[in-house]
Amino acid sequence: MVEVARGRVGAEVPLRVHSMDDPLDWIEDGSLDLVVCALAYHYVDDRLGFLKEVHRVLRPGGGMVISTSHPTNDWVRLGGSYFMDAPVTETWSRGWVITAVRCPLGRLTAEFAEAGFLIERLVEPLPIAEMASRHPEAFEKLSSQPGFILFRLLKR
């Protein structure tokens, strides 16, 4: 992903590989306006620690945008109890073995609050119309059950 990003932004933008389970020790307190965490939050082992680190580096009134797998999507796809709160390991189509945390919506929102965030906005996106012709099965599925959920969080 760093190589893809480097190809898009060029050499002058600093990029780094970093575990979200580790402190953001190169970023000063209150120095950022916005943090974006796109489809990665469900892979973090210490989510509360990560959220507290983001809270630390955001300026007062700063925000964070998180997109993640929708809890109902995991429940429908994997079965069992919707209220399951545990890591799940799967093998994806390219042979990638991934482990993600599966948990209900109440757990996600409690983590945000405990780290000092308010939910400004919650979005359950629908697929765009152009997807219907290119990926009709996925379009139909995502038109009737959410695949992802997005949160706009504000630092309290």
Report the distance separating Cα 3 and Cα 127, nearest Å: 28
Q: Are 116 and 155 in contact (CB under 8 A)?
A: yes
pLDDT value, residue 70: 95
* In the predicted structure, residue 2 carries a pLDDT above the cut 90: no
pLDDT band per the 50, 70, 90 thresholds, residue 60: very high
Q: What confidence tens digit (pLDDT) does each residue in 97-134 have? A: 999 999 999 999 999 999 999 999 999 999 999 999 99
pLDDT value, residue 74: 87
* DSSP string for the chain: -HHHHHHHH-TTS------TTS--TTS-TT-EEEEEEES-GGG-SSHHHHHHHHHHHEEEEEEEEEEEE-HHHHHHHH-S-TT--EEEEEE-TTS-EEEEEE--HHHHHHHHHHTTEEEEEEE-PPPPTTHHHH-HHHHHHHHHS--EEEEEEEE-
Alpha-carbon separation of residue 4 from 9, 22, 82 (angstroms): 9, 23, 35
Report the distance separating Cα 56 and Cα 127, nearest Å: 34
Q: pTM of whole model > 0.85?
A: yes
Share of the chain above pLDDT 70, in %: 100
pLDDT band per the 50, 70, 90 thresholds, residue 89: very high
